[in-house]
Structure 1
Amino acid sequence: MKDEHNQEHDHLSQKEPESCEMACTCKEQQGEEKQEAGEKEGEIKEDFELKYQEMREQYLRAHADFENVKKRLERDKNMALEYAYEKIALDLLPVIDALLGAHRSALEVDKESALTKGLELTMEKLHEVLARHGIEGIECLEEFDPNFHNAIMQVKSEEKENGKIVQVLQQGYKYKGRVLRPAMVSIAKND
């Protein structure tokens, strides 16, 4: 029996190194697989980070574009409203000119008549409403300013110096600082 036991022991001892080598090889393979899995996981994580950054940048660009479009639409809307007011103001200028002409004619006939007073009140009220909406008459003081005045003729004047405004032929108007219509004036030329 001893012999059998020794033979078995010998047989097992011969197998041990072989199974040990296999176990070591398996552990090495598992280690390599874990390393490969770790590398793949790292690559996947890196790809994910790149995709995330790309999508984040796209989102930020899209959001910025949206904000820019929103601001542009708001600005365009405001400009359209301003243009509409400007157009209405331009359409009213001939009416204002007609009222001014009627007022001048009424003053020549009778300064104290009810018609003259009514025209004065109408003109005052009209100018109040226009001013409330940013429309105002252009000042025609002594100095000629080509930004606000249009000189349509030159006249000799003993009272005024060269280049000074002698007479306003048609009132000019501004809308929020922009010229709607320049004032038509005559200027002095004393040569």
Structure 2
Amino acid sequence: MSEETKEELKQEELPLEEEVNETVETTEENQNCDENKELSLEEKVAELEGKLKESEDKYFRVHADFENIKKRLEKEKYQAIDYASEKFAKDLLTPIDTLEMALAAEEAAKELPTEELLSKLKEGVELTIKNFYTAFEKHDITLVETDGEFDPNFHDAVMQVDSEDHEDGQIVQQLQKGYKFKDRLLRPAMVSICKK
């Protein structure tokens, strides 16, 4: 071989060696990148596991808070039911006080004449009844009307009487008052009705 040919071959070999070196360097870089990727994947997995634990903690805390609120509301509901008539009970204290004052006044009024004592007693009873009706009005308790036709939804007919002033089926007399709480019947009115 001539020297020119040898030199051409050497020049051709040099680029091949450079290419091989570049390829080796690229392969090493790729391996380093793969290792970095594996590390970054492991780091990502660890990071995601940490976030998962954090989310689980938040979930359990929220769930525990929800259960506590639910128990508290349940307890408050039962207390509201148990003490629903507290205001009504407080309003009934005034009539009781009035009755007790009437009894106490009776002791002091023994020297009074009988007629005066009876009038004071009557006045005390009327005041007590007035206090009851005031408490009833506050709490939407009303009397059942007994004027006119008999209504089996609100009246309880305990007697049938003859009456020229009333038509058949009309209420003649109220024997006991009936009461409604808002639209609900507490006690029907006991009445006598006309029968012809």
Which residue is 1:189 aligned to?
A: 195
Are 1:139 and 2:145 matched, yes or no? yes
Which residue is 2:129 aligned to?
A: 127
Aligned length: 148
Q: Partner of 1:169: helix, strand, or coil?
A: strand
* In 2: Cα distance, 1:124 partner to 1:168 partner: 20
User: Given that residues 171 and 184 in structure 1 are in contact (C-alpha distance below 8 angstroms), is that contact kept between their aligned partners in structure 2?
Assistant: yes
Which residue is 1:153 aligned to?
A: 159
CA distance 1:177–1:28, shift in 2 (3 Å)? closer
Shift of 1:41: 1.6
Q: Partner of 2:166: helix, strand, or coil?
A: coil
CA distance 1:57–1:71, shift in 2 (3 Å)? same
Superposed CA offset, 1:74-123 (max 9, x none): 421333537x84xx8xxx9xx9xxxxxxxxxxxxxxxxx54664454233
Which residue is 2:74 aligned to?
A: 69
CA distance 1:121–1:178, shift in 2 (3 Å)? farther
Shift of 1:147: 3.2
Superposed CA offset, 1:157-183 (max 9, x none): 111011111112233345566544332
User: Given that residues 130 and 136 in structure 1 are in contact (C-alpha distance below 8 angstroms), is that contact kept between their aligned partners in structure 2?
Assistant: no
TM-score when normalising by structure 1: 0.57
User: Structure 1: which 5+ runs fail to align?
Assistant: 1-16, 96-112
Are 1:30 and 2:36 matched, yes or no? yes
* In 2: Cα distance, 1:53 partner to 1:120 partner: 71
Q: Which amino acid in 1 is paired with 2:66?
A: R
State percent identity of aligned pairs. Answer: 32
* In 1: Cα distance, 2:168 partner to 2:176 partner: 21
Which residue is 1:103 aligned to?
A: none
User: Structure 2: which 5+ runs fail to align?
Assistant: 1-20, 100-114
CA RMSD of aligned residues (A): 3.8
TM-score when normalising by structure 2: 0.56
